[in-house]
């Protein structure tokens, strides 16, 4: 399926629709159990679910940070190949991530517009006419 603005956000079903809700449900049930029967065991179960949730959150954040770094490096190289100069420092990480969807023909113009008009990432994505899909990031 061809990627575009309307369908570019991706979810991993097992993580987003199974793991996260189960952790939330487990934490809620553990808190309910602790309120109903406040023992050291129920307190430890609440703590365990809190830690599981924190670990899941950090694992997601660390993976996204690694993907961001790789995407930034790719876009710096692509811009250098197309423009013959370094990607402008004025661009935020979120803007660079939005620009990765622009075709090579649109990239240079959109970079200039993003800087001069201080475009938000969503505005950059909406301005793209020839979408370049990113099928690896979740």
Query: What average pLDDT does the segment 23-33 reach?
Result: 96
Asked if the structure places residue 58 within a domain, the reply is: yes
pLDDT band for 134, please (50, 70, 90 cuts). confident
Segments forming the whole domain that contains residue 12: 5-127
CA dihedral 118, 75, 138, 93 (to 10 degrees): -40
| 137 within a domain of the structure (yes/no) | no
Residue 131: per-residue pLDDT: 86
Q: Is residue 134 part of a domain?
A: no
In degrees and rounded to multiples of 5, residue 133 shows phi and psi of -65, 150
State the chain's maximal CA–CA distance in angstroms: 67
What's residue 132's pLDDT? Answer: 85
What is the pLDDT at residue 14?
87
Distance of alpha carbon 103 from alpha carbon 127, whole angstroms = 11
Task: Count up the domains in the chain and report the number.
Answer: 1
Examine residue 50 and state whether it is found in any structural domain, yes or no: yes
102 three-class SS: strand
């Amino acid at each position: 399926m061809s990627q575009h603005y309307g369908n570019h956000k991706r979810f991993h079903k097992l993580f987003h629709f199974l793991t996260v809700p189960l952790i939330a449900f487990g934490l809620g049930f553990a808190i309910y159990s602790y309120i109903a029967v406040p023992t050291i065991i129920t307190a430890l179960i609440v703590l365990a679910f809190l830690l599981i949730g924190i670990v899941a959150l950090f694992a997601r954040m660390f993976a996204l940070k690694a993907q961001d770094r790789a995407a930034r490096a790719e876009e710096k190289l692509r811009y250098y190949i197309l423009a013959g100069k370094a990607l402008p420092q004025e661009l935020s990480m979120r803007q660079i991530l939005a620009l990765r969807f622009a075709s090579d023909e649109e990239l240079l113009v959109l970079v200039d517009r993003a800087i001069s008009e201080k475009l938000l990432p969503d505005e950059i994505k909406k301005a793209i006419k020839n979408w370049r899909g990113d099928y690896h990031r979740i």
